[in-house]
């Protein structure tokens, strides 16, 4: 029989790994709470129609669909089956799909529960998402997103706050980052100035690939998508803006002076930057990236992308402002802004830079050796009392050789061992052995509880 | 446009609900840790072949299958399509399925990682599972299981420990429970005595329905499954054993005296019961249930089922011993035992009995009113300092009417409001308003941090 395995792109997590992942989640959610965000959770799968068409064609392909239960073929016409076309059959045999991100389910949540919520509504969500992507380093088919969003206000103070939030999370984790920022209005303004308003999506989709394929190929793709040389010439300066944040903004403002939306984008970034400067950042740097585009088309204002400066791993966070996300579910004019943390990539960064606090593979603090049932019955009573004091402990389940039991303590890094054999039983004593120091002392069973509590709490 | 909704049998969780669910998870995992269990996690979906055939026919039907991505119809023969048979098509268009419980993925985990683990291996796992069951009260299509298992030892001390664990969890939650216990060996012994060894599964499957359909119908089903009147007469006493735990065991031992395995089952239960009596239970009661069968066929020894005594809601926990679970994945002779807590039903019990500790819908402690950008910039600096002291606070995002901002504080149960308008800005002061008492005091901005910290920590 072949050894069983996890599906491609998915992973098991050992205790050690779970503890490390919990550490990241806890750090992020503590910051979320401090900023006034509260958790919600949505189901792992949504109705097929809730998700489809929200992430572009590519996204639709990468969504995992769930096969209907029971006699799902019964109602399908023979014709539809014979054509063997997935796009015809899939919607007929699947009515549910796994969550692809946390933003669309959140929009659905807001619309569904709009009468119970008070706006502005701030929520965070830390849950897995699934994508049928080709797995590679830092890219999995099941991975965790940690999102915080506010809907119901267009205030730019929220963008300022999110920059602070990124800084606080990554500073707490000890990770140096660059927070790249741009504004979709600047991209719209550029399209206006270059007279390619009808090709805004082509422009941003191509631009979004800059990191992966480089300027030359991006320009080629833009040409392929029908952007003229004349337009490209007008767009060219954004690939090579010089100077600090504010000087770049000034250069761009000049370029965009005939576009109202473009100038507005510049002003928004200036507000965010200046207030961020006023407040200061602990370890992050706010960087203006005029070529930052972000793949998702629902963004309308500021957009963010965070990179760890000491590790090459793509973005470990992203987000932005969307002015009409809930519109797709029938609730118009509800502006929102949100950011996301990529738990799995952050994990890889912390691992690579050895930034995790030390963790033990096993939490057990005291192991009681097993000699025979009579001795074990006494041990179990002591164990019960110890656990009432919140001390993790256990009886080795079987009276096998002491060597084997000691190996178990060793492998699980259990520091204290209690020896209560026949002699000790008769004298109402026990031996307490410290495996790190190799020391051992004999005490009465009556003394034990106090002794061990003192030792462990100190 | 129709209002969007969650799929049937799934739920959204508000902040309030998430906090309550976290409370249950935290209580359970703290007990797990104290008993020496450590967390692992497995992927949400497994390979199709890992799950299929492990839960009986009914289980196979209830497993959610994931449709393959891409051109999944390409390789299917026209014949297979035309027959329109799900059992032929499904394995060809689906190679992954959502987790149905935590036990089979755990068995897969142990086999896959056997060389990294040290045995006995104790793990816990708190993750959602999915079943295409008909939703009803306390039964959902997505729900959480909280499992603790030990593999690698056949010691009965583990059963004793698990009973303690149930008691500690439910006592911590304030929930009174009966822990029903039986032993599969007793059921095997009964089958032996009644000469229906070849019908052991029919016998247990029918018996398992006793709670739902009553004795009369169970007996009818047994007859339907080919169990003779003579055999039924021999089985009859188990429906009506009288007396306390030990007297019932003695009666049964007598009945089973010609079955070695049956007598062994009785002895095992006696060991567990007597040692539980020695150790004592806080609020639970250990009850012998000779008709308890448990649906899953991998159980071979003690089996458990827990019921809340003050709420009618079926079982809120269950488990048992399995002596060869990993055998299905090629690792023979690895005995194990484990128990599970049903988070969602426990939630319903705590809700019904009003046993949840009080929680706030919003964690924000201080709201800074928004007057205009200049004032807000000062507020943001104070907010930053407050958050560094781990106090949750936020700026109302927009300078709308004070009435509206105060309503927001009210709806979100924020107790403290900071008023820093133009006057205060000019005097370097602010007003701190307590919304519960309606009191307000004017202090300097320099004093603010100390004042609010004292108030909130007290």
CB–CB of B98 and A66 under 8 A? yes
Nearest-angstrom CA–CA distance, B181 and B186: 11
Q: DSSP H helical segments within A83-178, as ranges?
A: 86-93, 103-112, 157-173
pLDDT tens track for B181-196: 999 999 999 999 999 9
Q: Taking residues B208-228, what's their average pLDDT?
A: 90
pLDDT of residue B1: 58
Give the sheet arrangement for strand A45-47, strand by strand: A45-47, A96-98, A65-66, B65-66, B96-98, B45-47
**What ipTM score was computed for the predicted complex, to two decimals?**
0.93
pLDDT at B295 over 80: no
A36–B392 C-beta distance less than 8 A:
yes
Predicted confidence (pLDDT) per residue in B9-62, tens digit: 999 999 999 999 999 999 999 999 999 999 999 999 999 999 999 888 889 999
- Tell me the mean pLDDT in the region A303-331: 93
Interatomic CA distance for residues A128 and A98, integer angstroms: 10
Q: Is the predicted pLDDT of residue A441 greater than 90, yes or no?
A: yes
What per-residue confidence (pLDDT) applies to A161? 98
> Measured between alpha carbons, how far is residue B203 from residues A284, B209, B277, B295, B315 in Å?
66, 10, 31, 11, 21
Q: What is the pLDDT of residue A1?
A: 58
Q: Is B270 on the interface with A (CB under 8 A)?
A: no
What residues of chain A lie within 8 A of the CB of B161, using their CB?
Answer: 380, 394-395
Question: pLDDT over 90 for what percent of chain A?
Answer: 82
- Kindly tell me if the per-residue pLDDT of B215 is higher than 80: yes
Confidence of residue A283 (pLDDT cuts 50, 70, 90): very high
Judged by a CB distance cut-off of 8 A, whether residue B46 touches chain A is yes
pLDDT at A237 over 90: no
Q: What pLDDT is attached to residue B209?
A: 85
B3–A112 CB contact, under 8 Å:
yes
Give the model's pLDDT for residue B356. Answer: 96
Is B285 at the interface with chain A, CB within 8 A? no
The nearest alpha carbon in chain B to A331 belongs to B3
In angstroms, the CA B341 to CA B317 distance is 4
Provide, as residue numbers in chain B, all residues whose Cβ is less than 8 Å from the Cβ of A72. 86
Nearest CB to B43: which of A6, A154, A397? A6
CB contact under 8 A, A10 and B362: no
Is the separation of the CB atoms in A99 and A44 below 8 Å? yes
Q: How far is CA B204 from the centre of its chain?
A: 24
Q: Sorting pLDDT into bands at 50, 70 and 90, what band is B360?
A: confident
Looking at residues A49-67, what average pLDDT do you find? Answer: 93
* Residues of chain A contacting B279 with CB distance shorter than 8 Å: 380-381, 384
Kindly indicate the confidence band of residue A204, based on its pLDDT and cuts at 50, 70 and 90.
Answer: confident
Q: What is the pLDDT of residue B211?
A: 80
pLDDT of A359 above 80 = no
pLDDT at B269: 98
| DSSP 3-state of B228 | coil
CA–CA separation, A307 vs A289, rounded Å? 12
Tell me which of A211 and B178 has the higher pLDDT: B178
B453 has a chain A CB within 8 A of its CB: no
What would the mean pLDDT of A370-380 be, rounded to a whole number? Answer: 97
**Assign residue B9 a region: left if phi > 0, alpha if psi is -120 to 50, beta otherwise?**
left
* Cβ within 8 Å, pair A36-B394: yes
State whether residue B128 sits within 8 Å of chain A by CB: yes
Higher per-residue confidence, B99 vs A298: B99
Residue tagged 């709009």 (tokens): A114
B359 touches chain A (CB under 8 A): no
CB A260 within 8 A of CB B363: no
For residue A278, the distance in angstroms to the closest alpha carbon of chain B comes to: 8
Chain A residues inside the 8 Å CB shell of B40: 12-15, 18
Euclidean distance between CA atoms B344 and B358, whole angstroms: 19
- A-B interface: how many C-beta pairs under 8 angstroms? 291
Residue A10 has a pLDDT of: 97
B144-152: average pLDDT: 97
Distance from CA of B228 to the nearest CA of A (A): 34
Rounded to an integer, the average pLDDT of B367-376 is 97
Rounded mean pLDDT of A370-399? 96
Q: Is B449 on the interface with A (CB under 8 A)?
A: no
Q: Is B256 exposed, middle or buried (0-12, 13-18, 19+ CB in 10 A)?
A: buried
- Nearest-CA residue of chain B relative to A32? B392
For the purposes of burial, counting CB atoms within 10 Å of the CB of A437, is it exposed (0-12), middle (13-18) or buried (19 or more)?
exposed
Q: Does the CB of B372 have a partner CB in chain A at under 8 Å? A: no
Least confident piece of the model among A378-382, B79-83, B258-262? B79-83
Q: Which of B81, B142, B381 sits opposite A44 (nearest CB)?
A: B142
Decide if B390 touches A, using CB distance below 8 A. Answer: yes
Tokens of B431: 């007003």
> Which residues on neighbouring strands pair with residue A195, listed in sequence order?
none
Q: Does A115 score more than 80 pLDDT?
A: yes
pLDDT exceeds 70 at position B73 = yes
Are the Cβ atoms of B15 and A90 closer than 8 angstroms?
A: no
**Contact between B368 and B393 (Cβ < 8 Å):** yes
Integer Cα distance of B267 and B280 in angstroms: 20
Contacts of B19 in chain A (CB under 8 A): 39
Res A325 pLDDT > 90: no
**Tell me, what's the pLDDT at B58?**
86
Which residues fall within 8 angstroms of residue A252, CB to CB, at 6 or more apart?
Answer: A186, A237, A238, A241, A266, A290
Question: Measured between CA atoms, how close is B412 to chain A, in angstroms?
Answer: 8
Q: According to the model, what pLDDT value does residue B83 have?
A: 83
> Among residues of chain A, what percentage have pLDDT more than 70?
99
User: Cβ contacts (< 8 Å) between A42 and chain B: which residues?
Assistant: 6, 12-13
% of chain B residues with pLDDT over 70: 99
Cα–Cα dist A350/B59, whole Å: 41
In which band, very low, low, confident or very high, does the pLDDT at A293 lie, cut at 50, 70 and 90? confident
Q: Calculate how close chain A gets to B208, using CA atoms only, in Å.
A: 24
B434 touches chain A (CB under 8 A): no
Most confident stretch, A53-57, A142-146, A187-191, B310-314:
A142-146
B108 or B83, which is more confident? B108
| A286 against A234, higher pLDDT | A286
Say yes or no to pLDDT of A420 above 80: yes
Indicate if the pLDDT at residue A209 is higher than 90: no
- Partner-chain contact B153 A398, CB within 8 Å: yes
B125 CB burial (10 A radius; 0-12, 13-18, 19+): buried
The verdict on A82 touching B (C-beta cutoff 8 Å) is: yes
What is the residue whose two structure tokens read 């014979």?
A82
- Residue A35, C-beta contacts closer than 8 angstroms, at least 6 positions apart: A122, A148, A161, A164, A165, B387, B392, B394
Residues in A closer than 8 angstroms to B81, CB to CB, are 81-82, 84
Contact yes or no for B158/B339 (Cβ under 8 A):
no
Residues A368-378 have a mean pLDDT of 97
Please, are residues A339 and A368 in contact by the beta-carbon 8 Å criterion? Answer: no
- Give the one of B50, B82, B377 whose C-beta lies nearest to A78's C-beta: B82
Q: Which residue has the higher pLDDT, B324 or B183?
A: B183
- Percentage helix, strand, coil, to 5, in chain B? 45, 20, 35
Q: Which residues of A touch B39 (CB under 8 A)?
A: 15, 18-19, 22
- CA-to-CA distance for B374 and B425, rounded, in angstroms? 9
Q: Do B44 and A128 touch (CB under 8 A)?
A: yes
Q: Give the span between the Cα atoms of A355 and A128, in whole angstroms.
A: 23
**pLDDT tens track for A165-176:** 999 999 999 999
Residues in chain B closer than 8 A to A6 (CB atoms): 42-43, 46-47, 112
What integer best gives the mean pLDDT of chain B?
94
Instruction: For residues A345-371, give the mean pLDDT.
Output: 92
- On chain A, the residues whose CB falls within 8 A of the CB of B66 are 64-67, 98
Find the length of chain B. Answer: 458
Inform me whether the C-beta atom of residue A453 falls under 8 Å from chain B C-beta atoms. no
* Contact between B85 and A73 using a beta-carbon 8 Å cutoff: yes
């Amino acid at each position: 029989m072949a050894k069983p395995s996890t599906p491609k792109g998915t992973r098991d997590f050992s205790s050690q790994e779970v503890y490390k992942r919990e550490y990241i989640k806890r750090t992020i959610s503590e910051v979320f709470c401090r900023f006034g965000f509260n958790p919600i959770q949505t189901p792992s799968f949504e109705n097929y129609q809730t998700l489809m068409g929200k992430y572009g064609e590519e996204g639709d392909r990468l969504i995992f669909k769930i096969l209907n239960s029971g006699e799902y073929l019964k109602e399908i016409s023979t014709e539809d089956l014979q054509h063997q076309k997935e796009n015809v059959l899939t919607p007929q045999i699947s009515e549910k799909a796994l969550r692809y991100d946390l933003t669309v389910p959140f929009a659905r949540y807001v619309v569904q529960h709009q009468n119970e919520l008070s706006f502005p509504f701030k929520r965070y969500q830390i849950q897995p998402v699934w994508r049928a992507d080709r797995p590679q380093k830092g890219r999995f088919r099941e991975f965790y997103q940690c999102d915080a969003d506010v809907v119901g206000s267009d205030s730019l103070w929220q963008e300022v706050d999110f920059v602070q939030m990124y800084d606080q999370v990554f500073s707490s984790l000890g990770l140096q980052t660059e927070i790249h920022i741009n504004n979709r209005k600047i991209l719209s303004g550029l399209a206006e100035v270059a007279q390619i308003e009808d090709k805004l999506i082509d422009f941003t989709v191509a631009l979004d690939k800059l990191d992966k394929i480089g300027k030359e190929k991006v320009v080629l793709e833009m040409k392929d998508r029908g952007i003229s040389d004349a337009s490209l010439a007008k767009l060219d300066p954004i690939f090579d803006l010089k100077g600090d944040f504010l000087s770049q903004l000034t250069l761009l403002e000049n370029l965009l002076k005939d576009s109202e939306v473009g100038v507005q984008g510049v002003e928004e970034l200036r507000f965010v930057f200046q207030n961020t400067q006023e407040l200061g950042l602990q370890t992050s740097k706010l960087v203006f990236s005029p070529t930052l585009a972000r793949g998702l088309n629902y963004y309308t204002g500021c957009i963010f992308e965070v990179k760890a400066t000491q590790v090459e791993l793509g973005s470990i966070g992203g987000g932005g402002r969307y002015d009409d996300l809930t519109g797709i579910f029938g609730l118009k004019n509800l502006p929102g802004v949100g950011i996301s943390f990529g738990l799995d990539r952050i994990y890889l960064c912390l691992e690579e830079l050895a930034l995790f606090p030390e963790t033990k593979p096993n939490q057990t603090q005291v192991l009681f050796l097993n000699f025979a049932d009579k001795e074990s019955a006494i041990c179990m009573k002591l164990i019960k009392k110890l656990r009432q004091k919140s001390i993790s402990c256990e009886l080795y389940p079987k009276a096998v050789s002491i060597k084997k039991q000691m190996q178990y303590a060793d492998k699980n890094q259990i520091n204290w061992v209690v020896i209560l054999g026949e002699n000790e039983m008769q004298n109402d004593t026990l031996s307490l052995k410290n495996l790190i120091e190799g020391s051992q002392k004999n005490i009465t069973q009556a003394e034990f509880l106090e002794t061990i509590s003192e030792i462990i709490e100190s």
